[in-house]
Amino acid sequence: PFSADGTWTAGSWESRTSPSNHAQPLEISVSRGCAFACFGHIFEAHPCLWHNDCIQNEGGAQVEIRNARAEEWELFLALGQYAFQYELSEADQEDWKRRFESLHVWGAFEGESLQAMLIVIPLHMYLQGQSVEMGGVASVATWPEQRRNGAVKRLIQQALQHMRSEGQAWSMLAPFSYGFYRKYGWEMLTEHRTYTLAKTQLPQPQDVGGRVERRPVLNGALAKELSPLYEAYASRYNGTLQRTLEWWETSVFKRKSGQAAIYYNEANEPRGYVVYACKNRNLHVHELVALDEQARRGIWRFLSNHDSMINHLYWSAPMDDRLPAQLPDPRIGQSIEPYFMVRIVDVMGALSDYPFETVSGASSVRCIRLTIEDATCAWNQGVFELTPEAAGSVRVSRASADETDGLNGVSLACDIQTLSVMMSGYLRPFELYRMLRLQGDEEAVRMLEQLIPARPTGMLDFF
């Protein structure tokens, strides 16, 4: 902690870079203003305190946090298969080996023994119609005999530092436990509305014109056909991935087996598609994309024409879907399931690049002072000023906590989880204000309601 005279004393640290310097004390005393600059030199000289982090497990053994080496791919594969209870074929193992070096894989090692792992996948997601860089956290796993020794916590901290250095201001993950990842700053982003329709509840086929063409093989050629339709649809949501053609083949078609059908309107323009599988008298809709109402009706006509082959249809739709309101019998099976989580990794980067809404009319409020609390990422702690400018843009800057802005400024405070769900669009500012998660001046909340465009969240992928 900082003392009254503005200096900070860390006391004595033990460097554990090697047995030879195991117990060298390191006294640190720096001024408030140069703490981070000094830390850069200290951690460069003592790498176990920073990038190649060394910790001790419960037995006192040293555990090193570092990047995976190319020849260690089998160690990580073995842990992944055990933790997530799957088994790759020989062909899939070769594919994993090929892709291993392109991923950012981190491991917690005791000597040459892998204890825990985490992968950061460099991705892009849509946010207010724009593509932004995002770090996808995946394959967080630990051998059972090594769990609860702090290794995963350090892996997460290392991953966040890495994402920030790579310019990934946002991160997403599919959690095994929402409570666990909330501790590290992630929060809810998306939900699914899962439908179950008996065949008697399928929409009545309507003649809407156009045609549907089936594509029985899911391959690269099909990905090129579907990709423009998907991107146009995905950009309507916050949180959806921007897909590369490689992602279509290595992820989408790997998980969503079956076949596809494309809807063309009367002008012979592709306007929607469905990826589905029909087996054991059940029709599973893996992905349904319609760019307009005509395409939606054309695709549902195609699906309803399977009524003689199936007993039930299953589909996980985005939360803004209104299928029941368009059915003769809306009493279908419905459930809401939480899905992905989101986190702002770098507040300054995320806010500076955010596509705020242009606010019409003059405002009596000159700026919003937003105080952020982030227990995991120290670089996000502090006060950020959002200043609407005459041209309609918003200028973002940092301010010191004790700096006053008495000229038409309003203040708000929240933690990183609250900021993440607000800026991602999952919850609106006034919703968070009523929940007491966003605290401060109501006028500032009203301004944020104007500045943050309303757009639903969604996610059609998994990693």
Kindly report, residue by residue over 131-140, the tens digit of the pLDDT. Answer: 999 999 999 9
Rg of the chain taking only CA atoms, in angstroms: 25
Three-state SS string across the chain, please?
CECCCCEEEEEEEECCCCHHHCCCEEEEEEECCCHHHHHHHHHHHCHHHCCCCEEECCCCCEEEEEECCHHHHHHHHHHHHHHHCCCCCHHHHHHHHHHHCCCEEEEEEECCEEEEEEEEEEEEEEECCEEEEEEEEEEEEECHHHCCCCHHHHHHHHHHHHHHHCCCCEEEECCCCHHHHHCCCCEECCEEEEEEEEHHHCCCCCCCCCEEEEECCCCHHHHHHHHHHHHHHHCCCECCECCCHHHHHHHHHHHCCCEEEEEECCCCCEEEEEEEEEECCEEEEEEEEECCHHHHHHHHHHHHCCCCCCCEEEEEEECCCCHHHHCCCCCCEEEEEECCEEEECCHHHHHHCCCCCCCCCCCCCCEEEEEEECCCCHHHCEEEEEEECCCCCEEEEEECCCCCCCCCEEEEEEEHHHHHHHHHCCCCHHHHHHCCCCEECHHHHHHHHHHCCCCCECCCCCC
pLDDT surpasses 70 at 62:
yes
The alpha carbon torsion through 183, 184, 188, 192 (nearest 10 deg) reads -100
More confident residue, 414 or 59: 414
Domains 193-338 and 347-451 share a fold: no
CA atoms within 13 A on the CB side of 215: 19
What is the fold, at CATH topology level, of the domain defined by 193-338? Aminopeptidase (3.40.630)
Average pLDDT on 253-258 reads: 96
pLDDT for the residue 391 = 72
CA distance 289 to 263: 10
Per-residue confidence band for 19, with pLDDT thresholds at 50, 70 and 90: very low
Q: To the nearest whole percent, how much of the chain has pLDDT over 70?
A: 84
Taking all residues of the chain, what is their mean pLDDT, rounded to a whole number?
A: 87
pLDDT tens, residue by residue, 435-449: 999 999 999 999 999
The number of beta carbons lying within 10 Å of the beta carbon of residue 120 is 24
Sheet holding 282-290, edge to edge: 211-215, 259-264, 270-279, 282-290, 312-318, 191-198, 333-338
pLDDT tens, residue by residue, 354-395: 999 987 655 556 799 999 999 999 999 999 999 998 777 899
Triad 186, 187, 192: Cα angle to 5°: 130
First to last CA, the chain: 39
Q: To the nearest whole percent, how much of the chain has pLDDT over 90?
A: 78
pLDDT for the residue 450 = 95
Sheet holding 382-388, edge to edge: 394-399, 382-388, 367-373, 409-415, 439-440
Average pLDDT on 449-455 reads: 97
CATH architecture of 62-168: 3-Layer(aba) Sandwich (3.40)
pLDDT for the residue 60 = 59
More confident residue, 403 or 226: 226
pLDDT tens, residue by residue, 195-205: 999 999 999 98
Average pLDDT on 75-101 reads: 93
Backbone phi and psi for residue 305, each to the nearest 5 degrees, phi listed first: -70, 0
Residues 450 and 443: beta-carbon distance below 8 Å: no
Both tokens assigned to 322: 């209104």
pLDDT surpasses 90 at 31:
no
pLDDT surpasses 80 at 169:
yes
Both tokens assigned to 286: 């893996």
| Superfamily designation of domain 347-451 | SCP2 sterol-binding domain (3.30.1050.10)
pLDDT surpasses 80 at 75:
yes
Task: Please state the domain extents for the chain.
Answer: 7-50, 62-168, 193-338, 347-451
Backbone phi and psi for residue 403, each to the nearest 5 degrees, phi listed first: -75, 135
pLDDT tens, residue by residue, 259-304: 999 999 999 999 999 999 999 999 999 999 999 999 999 999 999 9
pLDDT for the residue 389 = 86
pLDDT for the residue 393 = 86
